[in-house]
Structure formats: C-alpha cells, structure tokens
C-alpha cells in the first residue's frame, strides 16, 4: 500500500522550508554587531539544527530590531528613519541653503 501525501501537507512543508531558508540567509547576512542575545555563530547553529523552532526563535529574539522606529515625540504615530540612516540631499537643510546661495551668487 502506497502512502499518499495530501496537498495541505505539501504546502505546509514548503512554507516551513521557505521560512527556514529565509531565516538561515538572514542570520548569515546580518552583521555581527546587530545580532541580539547570542553570538552570530550560535544563531547559525540554532537555525540549522533546530530548523523551524530555531527559525522562529531567531525571528523573535535574535534578529536585529527594525531600523525604523515609531516617532513618539510628535504624536500621530508616523514612522521616521533612525538617525544613522543617510538622508537624501533634498532633506538636508544645509545643502538646500548652499543651493540658495549659489543661485543668488549667479544673479
């Protein structure tokens, strides 16, 4: 008698495999200084050997915090980038002032 695998089992299996691969890639590419709670090497081992439990644990307690933080001071719940994220030239007030000066100098 042949064992039949149902479609839901295949879909769940593929989803768990995708989760595991995503987390493994995420651990490997995350900079050492951003990893939380354990050394990066330990996280790689946990994700590899504990598979889906390790992947979920990485997402919950090992992954770096988001680079975007909720803007609390201004209220309204808008999202803002943290200070270490580079800004574009049109967001830099000093750059805009230098453009104004150059325009006035040309006149």
10-residue block means of pLDDT along the chain (107 residues)? 75 92 92 89 93 91 66 46 61 81 81
In a domain, 59, yes or no: yes
Say if 71 falls within a structural domain.
yes
In a domain, 2, yes or no: no
Bridge-partner residues for 80, per DSSP? 69
Measured CA to CA, the distance from residue 82 to residue 59 in angstroms comes to: 21
- Tally of domains within the chain: 1
Distance CA 107, CA 8 (A): 72
Q: Is residue 1 part of a domain?
A: no
H-run or E-run covering 80: strand 79-81
- Contact 20/55 with Cβ under 8 angstroms? yes
Q: Is 78 part of any domain? A: yes
Q: Which domain holds residue 81?
A: 7-106
Domain assignment present for 41: yes
Residue 94 lies in a domain: yes
């Amino acid at each position: 008698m042949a064992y039949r695998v149902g479609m839901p089992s295949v879909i769940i299996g593929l989803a768990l495999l995708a989760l595991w691969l995503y987390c493994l890639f995420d651990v490997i590419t995350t900079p050492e200084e951003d990893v939380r709670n354990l050394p990066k090497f330990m996280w790689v081992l946990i994700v590899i050997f504990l598979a889906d439990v390790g992947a979920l644990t990485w997402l919950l307690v090992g992954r770096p915090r988001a680079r975007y933080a909720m803007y609390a001071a201004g209220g309204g719940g808008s999202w803002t980038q943290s200070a270490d994220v580079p800004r574009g030239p049109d967001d830099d007030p000093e750059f805009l002032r230098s453009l104004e000066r150059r325009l006035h100098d040309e006149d």
